Structure 1
């Protein structure tokens, strides 16, 4: 059966839920920061990047090279169980990632398909570590009293353990059984249009720390890990002060828990650095990653080596059939080469600062939104109400810009890392058009 762009949605609706965009992506004509809709012939500026997972735009020239195409086609013919069958392509990826992306002092890696499963295995790392710290070394020992301390407005995935942690919208986790693990408030910064913190953030942090103290009082030494996104994405693009993250590091050290940063959305140069946490003075013990990295996983520091038979040393403690996807690994290896060669990190920082400055100017001119915030390609602003947010996203689509919601009333941009200043100016111009249109409809 030949499917035309005009009947893509009708075909899909026969077999699955189709509540995504009305577009039909043309994989040949989409280029750089532009998504081409083959149904309408219209080009959309991509401030969405497949939920921050597609880093270097569509049909990057280096992905069109004969050598790369030969490599990725060759590995796609056979799906390898990477955990048990090793290839030169796997070794090239692991070496590139381990030497150019992972920071020093993080020798342990684990690969898996899916961001939620990356978080799951970070939790398993912590549970195993904590159980053995407590002297529970027999695999039949009861460890059901171990818990994970986590935060309100968190999104860590939709599978298994992670459903007990995700708490953005109830339709994502409601009616599924969950663990009652300790959850504390989120002391995020609120900003004015100049980037200054305007809420009483120290008081907010103090309240959260009191809740953390209470959680440790209730659960004693059974908290295996403190889990946080260094910037909450779906929960509202919520930023934390370095001082608060330092406090979490102190809790983890003093209470013998692992500090886990979930960087599935923020990692791999999205902030202008390889990892969002590198903008702080705080080093986590374990980091989960995914999306832009194509294949997902975790890396961990030497603190886990306080237990000699940790999950990175003991066979089969954490594993999966495929051990990630070799096609994704080959693609990520190419991404790493491009990012290093073209100094993409600096470009992301410069373009991000330009977009933030432009959005703040629009905010001051129009009053349509406030609290412009972000680092690198991870940018957001807040509108007066959920209704205004829906209207803003619709108006942006009318201006051919694809953006995302986050939190209760915020809009987030997830920009391609290759976005230029000229592309950014086009985004800002279209945002102005959307705001002008919004003023006549809301």
Structure 2
């Protein structure tokens, strides 16, 4: 006998949830059936929202992409959902199919090893653990006492909210306050402000490099890795010069530390290339991924093989029950195939350039809009202060445009990779209407 379908009327969603959880997100009940493309539909009122939020930039194909109606894909998805096997010990055709597609289309040639897990924060943590293990074994092989127990990281970084990640996350104090953390070296972040003041950036980079060198000179054997987001998203969509990231590569080589790029937010086509680092002329040793990939984890170059019994060769050194989630793998493989077939990474670069040009034009006309910036579908601009930013976001929401905040006074745009010229024009139209009205009242 089939179990009855559990249904809840749209008008009961908020009352039920408010009785049990903190409800502080968007005021809509997302209609999973009627949402489509770059548009979310509110099941309460039927209103459509142009989605430049995309579930924290996790939806490369937007909502209900027609290619996801493929019966074979849906059959595989259902099989994975019905049992959810423990990938750490049970190997399936679906698991292998995902790895094959991921390796072929998303893993750059320099990367040899893969590790999968559920959650971006724990993806970064396991990359850190791989670095700790590597550096500690390297130290012991050279007769150096004491383990490697530090990660050099940067101000305004967001790497997650669990365990080790708390010690390297430092955006809003509320997110880490009163939780025990390690006092690891934290470096000034020489971020770019657009238009770029080259002298100011050069000075900021010199300061950061001096801090890095001082940290390694204090304890070169204790620092296992340099960890950075190629673009600091949560912290304010902060961009760096590629030359600075290349300096980090040099420091990692000089001081025998691993270079970790956290591309949980910047990866999988978001910036107009499969990975942001591919636009910057530097290859990290470890790369953490998540969000748009659906499955999370990290990949490693063969530099880690300098240690023979590294985490990819020692059984159970890194592990989790599900080794990710097979449902996410099936969905992620399908997403990736569609991205390649429809050239969506290239589309993100093309449409993102149009969006950025529009933001730059707004900044020229409206003094309250500053620092327009972006790569591909990862875009942001600044407003005078947090209060103004929050008010503008509310106005944008009421106009039918969903956005995200970041840093103390920035609005970020994260449209799906499928965004087209029509949606770009509509997003810019709504931005201009809201910002011009706010400017007129100022």
Give the alignment's TM-score, normalised by structure 2.
Answer: 0.96
Distance 1:308 1:197 in 2: 46
- Deviation string 1:18-70 (CA, Å, 9 cap, x unpaired) is 11111100001100000000112110010001111111110000111222112
Distance 1:169 1:143, change over 3 A: farther
- Deviation string 1:83-115 (CA, Å, 9 cap, x unpaired) is 110001100100111121010021100000000
State whether residues 270 and 377 of structure 2, in contact with CA within 8 Å, keep that contact through their aligned partners in structure 1.
Answer: yes
Equivalent position to 1:173, from 149, 173, 176: 176
Residue 361 of structure 1 is matched in structure 2 by: 361
Residue 211 of structure 1 is matched in structure 2 by: 211
State whether residues 147 and 222 of structure 2, in contact with CA within 8 Å, keep that contact through their aligned partners in structure 1.
Answer: no
Residue 437 of structure 1 is matched in structure 2 by: 437
Distance 1:208 1:405 in 2: 26
1:132-281 → structure 2 map (5 Å cutoff): 132-135=137-140, 146-192=149-195, 196-197=196-197, 200-281=200-281
- Deviation string 1:282-303 (CA, Å, 9 cap, x unpaired) is 1100000000000100000000
Q: Report the alpha carbon displacement of residue 367 of structure 1 after superposing the two structures with TM.
A: 2.2
Unaligned runs of 5+ in 1: none
CA RMSD of aligned residues (A): 1.6
State whether residues 62 and 68 of structure 1, in contact with CA within 8 Å, keep that contact through their aligned partners in structure 2.
Answer: no
Residue 8 of structure 1 is matched in structure 2 by: 13
Residue 77 of structure 1 is matched in structure 2 by: 82
- Deviation string 1:226-251 (CA, Å, 9 cap, x unpaired) is 00000000001001001111110000
Distance 1:322 1:208 in 2: 40
Distance 2:375 2:410 in 1: 16
Distance 2:225 2:148 in 1: 13
Distance 1:387 1:95 in 2: 48
Residue 392 of structure 1 is matched in structure 2 by: 392
State whether residues 155 and 189 of structure 2, in contact with CA within 8 Å, keep that contact through their aligned partners in structure 1.
Answer: yes
Q: Report the alpha carbon displacement of residue 137 of structure 1 after superposing the two structures with TM.
A: 11
Residue 347 of structure 2 is matched in structure 1 by: 347
Q: Report the alpha carbon displacement of residue 214 of structure 1 after superposing the two structures with TM.
A: 1.2
SS in structure 2 of the partner of residue 221 of structure 1: coil
Farther-moved stretch of structure 1 (115-124 vs 337-346): 337-346
Q: Report the alpha carbon displacement of residue 366 of structure 1 after superposing the two structures with TM.
A: 2.1
Distance 2:21 2:62 in 1: 28
Q: Report the alpha carbon displacement of residue 197 of structure 1 after superposing the two structures with TM.
A: 4.3
Q: Does 2:298 correspond to 1:293?
A: no
Q: Does 2:117 correspond to 1:87?
A: no
Give the alignment's TM-score, normalised by structure 1.
Answer: 0.96
Aligned length: 437
Residue 374 of structure 1 is matched in structure 2 by: 374
Which 4+ residue blocks in structure 1 deviate beyond 2 angstroms? 141-145, 196-199, 439-442
